[in-house]
Amino acid sequence: MYKFSFHNHTTRCQHAQPDMSDDSLVQAHIAKGFTSMAFTDHCPWKTLIHPSGIRTRMLYSEKKEYIASIDMLKKKYAEEINIFSGYEMEYIPSLHEEMVQMRKEADLILLGQHYLYNYDTGSVQGFNYSQDHISEKDLLHYPVLIEQAAREGFPDIIAHPDIYLKNRLTFGDTEERIAHRIAQIAVQHHLPLEINLAHIAACMDGRMSKEHYPNADFWRVVSQYPVQVLFGIDCHWLFQLDLYEASIKRAQEIIGKKTMAALSFCTEEDIIRRRR
């Protein structure tokens, strides 16, 4: 089992398990034998509330309490598990100062690019939730935002990089070109790519009917590059930890033995060393 878990959410995001306390999440990780974990809840924006119209992240007013809770748990469980503070953040150019501040105050930043950015209007669009089929123009904008975030040094991990394929009907030339570009960005900036287990666990538990990712075609392309990868639970519910080993097994089946054999998995030290 991979002994570190660097993608975990809290009830503050309003779409996680309502009765899952920060303490219970830590205890569940310890029970599963993890030696390290990170809290990486959806970051709070001071000037951007909920672009999709639905609350999907903690409020800015909850940020201090979130960090304080993690600091307390670091001390409480210091002998049992290493705990890191963090955020899952989108790259939004108009919120640069807020991103810089969150980068400074957190141990880890995951780039989970759920939004596209309109440079003409300064607005954002939740591309993977609001549309059944993303336009090619919007699709091509996805790796641009990832590259800009990497150039500015924001992320430590690129979360669910294949999320852009969530509502695609085919894996054609454009989709493959984007996969190559994301892999190239990861190599250039020494950023690990996450194999996200959230949809797999949700399907196993009967909460979803389709495993949107991991996407086998995407990881086939990535396997052609010297990219480091890691599994991410993307934990919103404690049952995901119960299904951790089974989720990894299913991800390996989806991606395929040949591709899995060609992927290079990073260690916890690889990620922490890069941050330092």
Q: Give the whole-angstrom CA distance, residue 100 versus residue 183.
A: 25
pLDDT at 129 over 60: no
Q: Which of 187, 184, 188, 142 is nearest to 166 (CA)?
A: 142
pTM of the model as a whole: 0.94
pLDDT at 157 over 90: yes
**Residue 87: beta bridge partners?**
41, 109
Query: What's the CATH superfamily of 4-275?
Result: Metal-dependent hydrolases (3.20.20.140)
What pLDDT digit, counting tens, does each position of 21-48 carry?
999 999 999 999 999 999 999 999 887 7
Inter-residue contact 119 to 70 (CB < 8 Å): no
pLDDT at 262 over 80: yes
